[in-house]
Homo-oligomer: A and B are copies of this chain.
Amino acid sequence: MPEQSLPSWNDGPARRAIIDFVTRVTDPSHPDFVRPAERIATFDNDGTLWCEQPKQTQFFFAEARLEALAEKDPSLRERQPFKAFLEHDLKTLFNLGKQAAFEAVFMTHAGMTIEEFNAIAKEWFATATHPQLHRPFTRCVYQPQLELLDYLRANGFKNFIVSGGGIELMRAFAEEVYGIPTEQVIGSSTRTRFEVIDGRVQMMKIAELGSFDDREVKTENIALHIGRRPILAFGNSDGDLAMLRYAKSGAGARLALLLHHDDAEREFAYDREFRLSPLVEALDHAADFGIDVVSMKRDWATVFPT
């Protein structure tokens, strides 16, 4: 029922491109038909599935973790970049740049088992709220994207997250919020180590980067984790351009979508100047690469779930 699908998407080029694409690849009599096992869709998370302003949720979580750690070790309050995080000093955070800022945060998540981290993250998500949107972070997701994930699933797609965010933080809420199970979440990761504690095997998070899942690394991680080229990819920044181009480069029907945050009234308006995840090249060259630009202002009837 394409007419009833995606109710929070305005009738326009983006919604039509999505429905047209899904209709073609799921119609066995159409030359663009794709068998279900190949219907892989990959989504960036920060800024694509949920809000990433004024900074990515990972940093809000890190501040809470650092507050807890600083109670035991007050010297953290004087050491950069932790001092900046604790003082909500966005300028210092922006000057670090995306990868350095995220990496510093990941290191503060080490020294516990994966299961312990998961419990801490779930507890934080249960109460933490976005300071400007005044709603839980897990309700700062985009309603049109929840509908798109559902629509793709109903059409035999398997949805994956491929994000620069920490893999375990996303896994703590992705199943409940997006219906995406942990094994379909790819993200930046720190390494883990096999340890036997009280006779039981535990996977301990250690302060060593596995991969920073951004730009070309996203495609390397798709190759490693999924082993197939996505037929649909959705992003919102230059960090997603490699993934969008990878999806579009395959044979047959392909769809690559780029969300443009141009709606200061309902969310935020930003692109080139956002230091933690700029959108420049992907926007300037979207047409060259066959990428469809989604305008939040024009294409979305609703932004957040009610």
Contact = CB atoms under 8 A, between A and B. Distances in A.
Interface of A: 37, 40, 114-115, 158, 160, 167-168, 171, 175, 181-185, 189, 191-194, 196, 200-203, 210, 216, 219-220, 223-229, 242, 245-246, 248-249
A220 B194 contact: yes
Contacts of A200: 249
A202 B242 contact: no
A168 B227 contact: yes
Contact of A192 (B114, B185, B220): B220
A183 B158 contact: yes
Given A194-B242, A201-B246, A246-B201, A223 B114 contact: yes
Given A183-B158, A194-B242, A201-B246, A167 B219 contact: no
B203 A171 contact: no
A202 B249 CA distance: 8
Contacts of A226: 182-183
- Copies of this protein in the assembly total 2
Contact of A203 (B160, B184, B219): B219
B168 A193 contact: no
B219 A194 contact: yes
Given A37-B175, A37-B181, A167 B203 contact: no
B219 A183 contact: no
A181 B171 CA distance: 21
A191 B242 CA distance: 17
Given A200-B249, A203-B219, A246-B201, A210 B194 contact: no
Given A37-B181, A191-B220, 8 more contacts: A40-B183, A158-B183, A167-B227, A192-B219, A192-B223, A194-B219, A202-B249, A210-B224
